[in-house]
């Protein structure tokens, strides 16, 4: 499929800055990436949010009557509000009118909607949320999953996460042979809690991935791993800690750098460099989280997503579609099912 044909359904009503920032990021993606964006939500609000000179050839508006608020219980809300923007967007994928979906709204609702409307890929017990962290090696991110969908995991779930993560790393992030690690508390095979010990064994025996062993907390940002699997409890704690720590360090820099006269002059001279550092540590630059294991390409943005994050997430969605990640995963899972009999 040529890239001009890629169509991405956007939940225009989801997120703290919806619809303005969502529409702005999506329109830019339409213009710069050559995708068609299907903006799902209240047509009046969406039209009001369109930038003045929007090229309408790349934009379609799909009406949806309702939206799901951040404080609603996800499964109930998704079931009750059948015409909510997230449901309508998922239906577009289900009906093959779109190739992928993006939402910065209630992530639990996006997950519930994807499960109910698209279903799981064959061979997958539980979908996982994967997120991309920058590492110490520039241009060499690491995909961590699960970061919150499954707080209690069985070892075989972690194995499935590894297979899915490996495919995404290869076909979306462009890693030739992704090195997979298991998040654990030591390097040795014998380290870890009960789930990690059994998962280690399964990963070692799996021939579809390049499992290189346990990854400790200190290895997450080393760039030595391309994919790191963990349960959604530890993954979520790690993600939120990592997101916050950037802000903590920036605050320490802001407090300490301008101390004294030399400090003030030095800080003024370094302004452009400090801005670049902020960008390099900024999570938003690295796009949305991937919902892996459902039968469709789904990207989930942070609730606080602004236009640049939306743009990056749509770029990731396009990569996934262009590189036929879903089709490849289906094939791999079929092989996995044959293997396990």
| Interface positions with a copy of itself (CB under 8 A) | 136, 148, 151-152, 183-185, 192-194, 196, 216-222, 230-234, 236-245, 248-249, 251-253, 256-257, 259-260, 262-263, 265-270, 272-274, 276-277, 280-281
The least distance separating a copy of itself from the CB of residue 192, rounded to whole angstroms, comes to: 6
The two structure tokens encoding residue 27: 């329109």
The least distance separating a copy of itself from the CB of residue 233, rounded to whole angstroms, comes to: 5
Which of 48/237 has CB closer to a copy of itself? 237
Which of 195/335 has CB closer to a copy of itself? 195
The least distance separating a copy of itself from the CB of residue 269, rounded to whole angstroms, comes to: 3
The least distance separating a copy of itself from the CB of residue 264, rounded to whole angstroms, comes to: 9
The least distance separating a copy of itself from the CB of residue 108, rounded to whole angstroms, comes to: 10
Which of 176/260 has CB closer to a copy of itself? 260
- The alpha carbon torsion through 51, 55, 57, 58 (nearest 10 deg) reads -60
- Is the backbone peptide bond immediately before 146 cis, with ω within 30 degrees of 0? yes
Q: CA-CA distances (angstroms) from residue 156 to 112, 124, 201, 203, 303?
A: 22, 10, 10, 9, 30
Alpha-carbon span 150 to 98, nearest angstrom: 27
Which of 32/189 has CB closer to a copy of itself? 189
Which of 99/219 has CB closer to a copy of itself? 219
The two structure tokens encoding residue 222: 């080393």
Which of 48/245 has CB closer to a copy of itself? 245
Residue burial 206-236, b: 16+ Cβ < 10 Å; e: rest:
bebbebebbbeeebbeebbbbbbbbbbebbb
Which of 270/335 has CB closer to a copy of itself? 270
Which of 56/252 has CB closer to a copy of itself? 252
The least distance separating a copy of itself from the CB of residue 134, rounded to whole angstroms, comes to: 9
The least distance separating a copy of itself from the CB of residue 224, rounded to whole angstroms, comes to: 12
The least distance separating a copy of itself from the CB of residue 257, rounded to whole angstroms, comes to: 5
């Amino acid at each position: 499929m040529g890239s001009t044909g890629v169509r991405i359904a956007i939940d225009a009503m989801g997120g703290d800055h919806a619809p303005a920032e969502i529409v702005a990021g999506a329109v830019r993606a339409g213009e710069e990436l050559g995708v068609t964006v299907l903006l799902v939500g209240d047509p009046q609000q969406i039209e009001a949010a369109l930038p003045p000179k929007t090229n309408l050839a790349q934009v379609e508006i799909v009406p949806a009557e309702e939206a799901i608020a951040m404080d609603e219980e996800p499964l109930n809300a998704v079931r009750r509000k059948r015409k909510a923007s997230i449901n309508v967007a998922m239906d577009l994928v289900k009906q093959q009118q779109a190739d992928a979906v993006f939402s910065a709204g209630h992530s639990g609702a996006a997950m519930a909607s994807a499960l109910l409307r698209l279903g799981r890929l064959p061979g997958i017990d539980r979908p996982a949320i994967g997120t991309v962290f920058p590492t110490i090696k520039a241009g060499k991110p690491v995909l961590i999953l699960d970061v919150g969908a499954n707080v209690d995991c069985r070892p075989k779930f972690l194995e499935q996460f590894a297979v899915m993560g490996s495919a995404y790393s290869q076909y979306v992030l462009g890693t030739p042979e992704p090195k997979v690690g298991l998040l654990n508390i030591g390097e040795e095979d014998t380290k870890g809690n009960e789930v990690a010990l059994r998962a280690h064994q399964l990963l070692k025996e799996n021939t579809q991935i390049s499992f290189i062993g346990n990854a400790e907390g200190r290895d997450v940002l080393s760039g030595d791993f391309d994919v790191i699997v963990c349960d959604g409890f530890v993954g979520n704690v790690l993600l939120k800690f990592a997101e916050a720590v950037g802000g903590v360090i920036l605050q320490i820099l802001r407090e300490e750098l301008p101390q004294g006269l030399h400090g003030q002059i030095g800080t003024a001279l370094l302004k452009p460099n400090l801005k670049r550092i902020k960008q390099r540590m900024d999570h938003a630059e690295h796009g949305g989280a991937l919902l892996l294991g459902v039968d469709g390409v789904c990207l989930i943005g942070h609730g606080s997503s602004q236009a640049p994050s939306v743009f990056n997430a749509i770029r990731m969605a396009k990569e996934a579609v262009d590189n036929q990640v879903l089709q490849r995963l289906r094939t791999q899972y079929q092989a996995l099912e044959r293997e396990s009999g």
